[in-house]
Amino acid sequence: MDGVRRRTVLGALGGTVAAGGAVGRIRRRESPPGPPDGVRQAPERPRPYEPRVQALLGRMTVDEKLGQLQQLAWSADTGPGAGQNAEAVRAARGGRLGSVLNLYGARKTNALQRIAVEESRLGVPLLFGLDVIHGLWTTFPIPLAQAASFDPAVAGRDAEVSAREARSNGVNWAFSPMLDVTHEPRWGRIAEGNGEDPYLTAALGAAKVRGYQGDDLADNDRVAACAKHLAAYGGAEGGRDYNSVDVSEARLRNLYLGPFAAAVEAEVATVMAAFNTVSGIPAHANRHLLTDILKEQWQFDGVVVSDYIAIRELTVHGYAAGGADAARMALNAGVDMEMASTLFVQYGKRLLRNGRITMARLDDAVARVLRLKFRLGLFRRPYVDEDAAITEPTAAARSAARETAARSMVLLRNHKSALPLSTSARSIAVVGPFGDSPDLKGSWAGPWAVTPRPVTVADAIKAAVPKAKVTHVRGVDAQGRDTDNIVKAVSAARAAEVTVVVVGEGAELSGEARVRSDISLPGKQEELIEAIAKSGAAFVVVLVNGRPLTIGGWLESAPAVLEAWHPGIEGGHAIADVLFGKVNPGGKLPVSFPRAVGQVPIHYNHENTGRPYDPHNPYTSRYLDLPDGPQFAFGHGLSYTTFDIGEPRLSVRRIAADALCKGDTVQVAVAVRNTGRRTGDEVVQLYLRDPVASIVQPVRRLCGFRRVTLDAGKSTTVRFRLSAEDLGFWTHDRDGNFAVEKGEIRLYAGNSSLAGGERTLTIT
């Protein structure tokens, strides 16, 4: 290999391939159930309502058209006229309102909908949007936890239950899934996404879109999904929310855009723009993102909605000269609906008169909103059945939440098989700030978070081992400030056969605007663990948190550590299920855990550099005071059994680039065997590396995964199919050139990003 490679550009693909997936007519993967591959120019979605859309559009005044582009925020429990409530009522009555957010409940939404439908001139129904992120009444694990399942069906199940509960309460639009890939554990919104990998994020995101939307948005148990935030929000400098992002075109397409492309291919109904700038241009005024790529290259025909008052913030960014300028920029860039701020309505008529926006663009935006309302069946059935409203979790929904939570947990450490615990234990101590705390739902549980109360870990352990004496001592508070009870916690641990230490972050420490510069356990929580360890008591640690944590010096003293994340309403039961072996943990980390915050950003899919880490050479990429690599790698996760994963076997060892571009694929087979004594789950992971490329590629990137369940001693073969879209990459061309280059591709199979089994594929 001489280091020079000729490039084959997939020009026929029209610039629509994305990392981990592509947009257009897709051939679905045989394995894993993840992002799609194969792409052709996308046919237009059938529009059976188009004659009615155009007829309605023709009857509208300019004020009514601009009103369809307005979403106002409803303020709950503050009385009439508070916030934008009074304006929402006036605008709905005047036919000058397209949507309301934060209003839910069948009776409440019906009341406002009746004003819009029965009192306005044209009777156009409203959209009701809500941040249904990981559940409504039934709170599922946070999305980061769901990603740890490495099972798209988990995300789909959450979305199905959430859609049913939301739609019955008048909500027909969920602002989810969040598809922001991030390498920043300090960023609080990492809890709301799927971690550091675009392929995994694409798989989970597409599944969640399908779960929300089903086959027909008009069904009374489905809602419109919203892929957010376009784009690169997870790349915010310093992990600070809303901060700037400076990114090359290749990095934008290869890292950040792939999950959105997969969501568009899954026919997501709406897309939300991001708060941040992208290389100096705010996303809400970024025509390259919202129109050139999303609407033209990907042929997205849904609605682009702004984030909360983000159009008004174009002036704060220093990009727009005032409100009129901001409205012009956002509408012309491709935003179709304005959330909370009101610049489209305020300045739209003036902008039309001055020729700063066109009637064609205004009509396009309004038509997109009307099509969504027709797709949701709102013109035919604008109201929901108040008697059928779901107002609490059903038994089936709770069961789904419990199973999902357990499936999302990751066994980080299990020295000398400290877990699972025995159900014959006569005494168990539960210590730590979250041992008897209902604070398990996590961020974005919504304004309804206070009810219903989650099952606590202590109560769940009592239910799992009813004959045992279970005691609880907090030890320290959630902030780790009050340490007066550490001595009592140690006494309880010494008196018990085994102790479960439950520590972590409260929900208020993760989510939007919840950025931490120190991502260790808060306050003196580590002192509690160290005191229990020094006591000589048998113990295990359970972490409940919304982000990767830096796990300090206590790790080696903890026999077992279970990452439970913020597990949701049935989280206590799910934790007990795993602790006592009713469920064998099979989750994997969707994000690297750093050793110290000074390592951030640290992620598996990094570039090699000209001087990669070498322990024998000080002049290489390293820290003087830390070992190389993360504390726990992407894809890491243990089990109560053991598995052997074989080397990847290829259907061909050589394939022509031209053949790949024409649709040929390479099949990869990986054998996996349960070598232990328990039934368990393993996630077979396939990675690739392109070691010599015209644009430097990551040392590894995920290109396939499959979670399998195997009985003790049993084996199976997992098969993956790699196409041009898996083996190539985007160049810096702003028009979107995707390249498959001749040379060697190294493939690795295993159970984490450190997978060792290797084969080489040669592209000729």
Task: Give the integer Cα–Cα distance in Å for 740 and 751.
Answer: 27
Q: Phi and psi at residue 195, in whole multiples of 5°? A: 100, -145
Residue entry with tokens 């306050």: 523
**What string of H, E and C letters represents the secondary structure of 577-600?**
HHHCCCCCCCCCCCCCECCCHHHC
**Angstrom distances, CA of residue 157 to CA of 160, 209, 613:** 5, 11, 42
As given in the structure block, the two tokens for residue 612 are: 């990669």
DSSP state of 677: S
Question: Which helix H or strand E contains 533, and what residues bound it?
Answer: helix 525-534
Task: Give the integer Cα–Cα distance in Å for 504 and 576.
Answer: 17
For the chain, state the CA radius of gyration: 26
Q: Is the dihedral of CA 573, 579, 582, 584 positive or negative?
A: positive
Task: Give the integer Cα–Cα distance in Å for 400 and 719.
Answer: 28
- 577 is an active site residue: no
Of these residues, 131, 180, 307, 577, which one is catalytic? 307
As given in the structure block, the two tokens for residue 437 are: 């705390």
Task: Give the integer Cα–Cα distance in Å for 119 and 335.
Answer: 28
**Angstrom distances, CA of residue 665 to CA of 30, 230, 258, 657, 728:** 11, 31, 20, 10, 12
Question: Which ranges constitute the DSSP H helices of 120-189?
Answer: 143-148, 152-168
Within 10 angstroms of residue 283's Cβ, the number of other Cβ atoms is: 27
Task: Give the integer Cα–Cα distance in Å for 406 and 577.
Answer: 7
Name the amino acid, one letter, at 32.
P
Task: Give the integer Cα–Cα distance in Å for 398 and 140.
Answer: 9
Task: Give the integer Cα–Cα distance in Å for 195 and 143.
Answer: 9
Task: Give the integer Cα–Cα distance in Å for 275 and 330.
Answer: 12
Residue entry with tokens 């009341």: 111
Within 10 angstroms of residue 366's Cβ, the number of other Cβ atoms is: 24
Task: Give the integer Cα–Cα distance in Å for 212 and 378.
Answer: 17
Task: Give the integer Cα–Cα distance in Å for 99 and 338.
Answer: 9
Active-site residues, by number, are 307
